[in-house]
Structure 1
């Protein structure tokens, strides 16, 4: 049983859908005040309403410094502190090299990687003033461990998050601020559903557990990193993928069935 985080405050970016929505709801269930951040205020407020009176929505494009600073100010104004940041905002539009434009690349890097830097920078003054903080990044197995055609920009952004994390963890350790990352495999979200049933079936067949994960699998890992029990854990990653990255090749999965 994790020690209670009741009354602490978490900011969840990309919190209106998919993994972010799951993280926001899980932290709300744990008793934290939750600022749900999305580009769409109505969607953010809808998730906040699902959580309850200790949650609220905020609209902002976290690839801009102005929005991130306003986000941090809103959390302080509404709840009085910023204890946890879940930097979850991310997109994964597909574009293969040769077709990918500079605008395509910059959009993904800005949304996934630059936003990590900007959101962390925005919450640091409040965390340093309090003398503690927990920063949890949502990275991916795609980029740091695996690759997939059409997602070179996405993979670069997710690998970049881990490079950022390791140095940030060193710099922020003297302030009792930890920086860690969850690395999801294939998780059943609205975005995954959009990939189609054939993709989902083939992906599930490649996973030793023979199924995709659910958003709570990621949310529970994020909650651990935010907990008191993880106060000596920083600069680390947890892969949550049902064992997807373990098979040496497709034959390994076939051998299981033999």
Structure 2
């Protein structure tokens, strides 16, 4: 597909769900993919399924040095980095009155710091080559407020504001870096596994059973965004079931 073949993509959260499916879709269209996640055995399996156009490294988006190692791997294996999909995220939802502060900080570490660490690791490369594409997986929760998920919503609103501001900076600086925010609705992934048993989890699980899409819906949205001509920036994509309110 146009603007995808032979390009090198770093994908975080690539051991399952949206990250895994996106890696497979991009590779099927001729891209080379560098897979990042904390579960090495799962990464190994995904890379083996894809074949020679995939490589991987066990890494943690919450660790800045770990993300720099992913960039180094991409350059040593494939010679460059063309795009990054900051996909890793967690959603241990709860009401704030429950004071699950550890969960709050975990979301900040992964959903905010993880995205920033991922971007900061590739930004020097993109600035130097005056090209690159940053794709960030946000959420429908980044466009509205959802009771029982206040901190998660907050992290997703952060990445929305941050990346849109960065897009404007890139235009002003002439770095030609494209940015895309993906806003998935309910998707069948392991994200719900990060929610502890509670009334909130029961409600969310029922909702997902009724309307959730498969991860390939988001993988194809990423493919659409990154395959556009170099002078086209697809800034925002909302992807959800036709049955989701």
Please give the TM-score of this superposition, normalised by the length of structure 2.
0.88
Aligned to 1:152: 150
Aligned to 1:256: none
Distance (Å, rounded) in 1 between the aligned partners of 2:80 and 2:33: 11
**CA displacement at 1:225 relative to structure 2:** 1.7
Q: CA RMSD in A?
A: 2.2
Aligned to 2:198: none
Distance (Å, rounded) in 2 between the aligned partners of 1:3 and 1:101: 46
1:133-166, CA deviations, whole angstroms, 9 ceiling, x for partnerless residues?
A: 11100000014224141x2211111111101111
**CA displacement at 1:23 relative to structure 2:** 1.1
Name stretches of at least 5 consecutive residues in structure 2 with no aligned partner: 196-200
Q: Tell which structure's C-alpha radius of gyration is larger.
A: 1
Contact 1:183 1:240 in 2 (8 A): yes
Aligned to 1:220: 220
1:99-137, CA deviations, whole angstroms, 9 ceiling, x for partnerless residues?
A: 234332111111011111111111012222222111100
**Closer, same or farther: CA 203–16 of 1 in aligned 2, 3 Å:** closer
Greater relative CO, 1 or 2 (CA 8 Å, sep 6+) = 2
1:183-206, CA deviations, whole angstroms, 9 ceiling, x for partnerless residues?
A: 00001123458888975554465x
Aligned to 1:178: 178
**What secondary structure does 2:104 align onto?**
helix
Distance (Å, rounded) in 1 between the aligned partners of 2:156 and 2:121: 20
Distance (Å, rounded) in 1 between the aligned partners of 2:77 and 2:127: 19
**CA displacement at 1:230 relative to structure 2:** 6.3
Is residue 2:43 matched to residue 1:44? yes
Contact 1:182 1:240 in 2 (8 A): yes
Q: 1:163 aligns with which of 138, 150, 161?
A: 161
Is residue 2:71 matched to residue 1:72? yes
Query: Moved runs in structure 1, 4+ residues, more than 3 A?
Result: 190-205, 228-231
Is residue 2:137 matched to residue 1:99? no
Contact 2:67 2:118 in 1 (8 A): yes
Name stretches of at least 5 consecutive residues in structure 1 with no aligned partner: 206-210, 248-258
User: Which has the larger displacement, 25-34 or 222-231?
Assistant: 222-231
Tell me the matched-pair count. 238
